Amino acid sequence: MSDLLETVRGLAKKTESKILMVVLDGVGGLPLTPGGDTELAAARTPNLDALAQESQLGLVELVGAGLTPGSGPGHLSLFGYDPLKYVVGRGALSAVGIGVKLNSGDVAVRGNFATLDPNRLILDRRAGRPSDEKNVEIVTRLRAAISEIDGIPVEIYTESEHRFVVVFRAPEGQTLGANISDVDPQGTGVQPMTAVPGDPSSDRTAALVNAFVARAEIALRDEPQVNGVLFRGYSDVPHFPSFADAYGLTAACIASYPMYKGLASLVGMDVLHVEGHEDALDGKVQALRENWAKYDFFYFHVKKTDSTGEDGDFAEKVHKIELFDELLPQLLELRPDVLAIVGDHSTPSKLRSHSWHPVPLLIRSEYGRWDHAARYTEEEAQRGSLGLRKGTDVMPLLMANALKLNKYGA
């Protein structure tokens, strides 16, 4: 346990108060032109505006100055786990999130289906975001073509849209290393990269990855759009301190996307069943209402504020923010003692990717010093009383506002 987690664990106490943490994935943005509005500022958000006027605001750096966080490190930071100490690849998060059990020595890999031209140049890193049904069809084809490589069992699982998971199963008594470079160059107009081992223990795994990529392209060569695979986020079995042990909380996760469910599961949260597609928020609200009496901490995830930014669609990201604003009164009806709204990273439409920019944080509680901000935007958050915070500061702040921390020291 990190020093801060250990300190908080020693101060945590049980109370009847409830904390709701809403993570608007990738909500931070940039103006398309200098001096213009970010996506948050451009959105029409009367409910968020009213909430901001009775809340504390600030900005949060999830990893560190200038460091662009992946979704895993960003969420770990918000949950109070130092992302520089607690490292986990996206493969394990996705695998655990869809219910795959990882054994010691196995390696899980997160994959993207991609579109390649005849020269293997990447045209689309997400293969046009195929339907979940198309994803299942392609995974079924790959399973028929690739069940083992060099005597190593290979398992392939559908996730959603362009995302899938591969697990390389280590023979009994052996370990497959996970220190491997990405196949995904995270750009277009270039070829997929060759996986390179970072240490001798990962030599075999890198060879397995490269063989998989080659076989997959052969198996999918007649597909016009989903005809390549990209890999990143290799990981073996991770181990984290328990969220319940660190904070004394009974915690629940409300998310649809497997990676986030996997991360919540790894830290010991109960993952609640959510009806509907990941873009449908009604099922998440229903799960929150039905389980409100059972838990004292809820992590509520909203995905599409991120994926629209990755697509470079400024207007659609604005729309997704406005859809959340319409939903917000239903969350407020539950009267959480502490409500936090924050992002796990910024995903400006202008960049079409995650970025290093701090994310806006809003905390409303009975014991907050209201900033009387006009809106929930990056500019208003920059002026807020919470200042610029580390991501690992968020949970102690929520615990304090919920009166769940004893005094430190004599």
Domains of the chain: 3-86+240-401 (3.40.720.10), 94-235 (3.30.70)
In terms of Cα–Cα distance, which of 170, 192, 46 is closest to 115? 192
* Burial of 198: CB neighbours in 10 Å, binned 0-12, 13-18, 19+: middle
Looking at residue 203, its pLDDT comes to 95
Looking at residue 2, its pLDDT comes to 55
Looking at residue 280, its pLDDT comes to 74
Element (H, E) at 82: none
Q: What is the pTM of this model?
A: 0.78
Looking at residue 208, its pLDDT comes to 96
The end-to-end CA distance of the chain, in Å, is 23
Task: Convert the pLDDT of each residue in 146-197 to its tens digit.
Answer: 999 999 999 999 988 899 999 999 998 889 999 999 999 989 999 999 999 9
Looking at residue 182, its pLDDT comes to 92
Mean of pLDDT over the chain: 93
d(CA 382, CA 375): 11
SS3 sequence of 353-404? CCECCCEEEEEEECCCCCCCCCCCCHHHHHCCCCEEEEHHHHHHHHHHHCCC
What residue ranges in 35-184 does DSSP mark as E strands? 56-61, 107-116, 122-124, 148-149, 152-160, 163-168
Greater model confidence, 292 or 233: 292
Task: Convert the pLDDT of each residue in 77-126 to its tens digit.
Answer: 999 999 998 877 778 878 877 888 888 889 999 999 999 999 999 999 99
Helix axes 71-78, 258-266, angle to 10 degrees: 40
Task: Convert the pLDDT of each residue in 352-390 to its tens digit.
Answer: 999 999 999 999 999 998 998 999 999 999 999 999 999
pLDDT mean over 389-393: 96
CA 409 to chain centre: 35
